[in-house]
A = this chain, B = another copy of it.
Amino acid sequence: MAAPAVQFWFEFASAYSYPAAMRIEPLAKARGVHIEWRPFLLGPIFAAQGWKDSPFNLYPVKGRYMVRDLERTCAALDLPFVLPTPFAQNGLLCARIATALEGPLRARFVRSVYQLEFGEGRDISDPLTAADALRRAGLDSALLERAQTDDVKAALRAATEEAQRLGVFGAPTFAAGDELFWGNDRLEAALDWALQGHL
């Protein structure tokens, strides 16, 4: 029997994907669950729902709540939290770089991006910030160019279409077999579901 596995679908524009990315590996390791890190884009999925912006901008009362909720959530995890300007950030470049990477290197790069974006409030659409993220993750800056090749672009588009087919409508989403779990607060439930062999 294969080791239990969970797909972690994340979006760099998504603020709740930040605490999820920072805490998923220790929780998964403690349960013996393998994590597949899956970058994708929410833009096309939101557009299909008729949204042209983050729901937190479309609904300002909800947006203010989100910031406070993230402040509390990150404080409890001892993570710094700074809402970047603009919010939501354009994560296309970083999503392509993540797509060009695999396995633990991808995970390490993704955490570096989130630390810069929501830990320090940096603009991750700036190639200099992406270069910083690569440096902090100990990765080659040549990935900036590699990320802009047609095969990487196509792979990210295919991942986004796969997410849409699965029924992903927000981020972070955790997929354990056919079951989807949406939101940082469902992370433990997804890992437990995979572990308990409901699959």
Which A residues are closer than 8 A to B by beta carbons? 49, 59, 61-62, 64-65, 68-69, 72, 167, 169-170, 179-183, 185-186, 189, 193
Given A49-B59, A59-B49, verify A69-B169 contact (CB < 8 Å). Answer: no
Given A65-B167, A169-B61, A169-B65, verify A185-B182 contact (CB < 8 Å). Answer: no
Q: Which residue of B lies closest to A167 (CB)?
A: B61
Q: Which residue of B lies closest to A181 (CB)?
A: B69
Q: Which residue of B lies closest to A198 (CB)?
A: B72
B72 touches A189 (CB 8 A): yes
Residues from chain B with Cβ under 8 Å of A182 in the complex: 65, 69
4 more A-B residue pairs beyond the given contacts A59-B169, A65-B182, A72-B179, with a C-beta to C-beta distance below 8 A: A65-B180, A68-B180, A69-B182, A183-B185
Distance in Å: Cβ of A193 to nearest Cβ of chain B: 8
Residues from chain B with Cβ under 8 Å of A193 in the complex: 72
Residues from chain B with Cβ under 8 Å of A167 in the complex: 61, 64-65
Residues from chain B with Cβ under 8 Å of A65 in the complex: 167, 169, 180, 182
Residues from chain B with Cβ under 8 Å of A69 in the complex: 181-182, 186
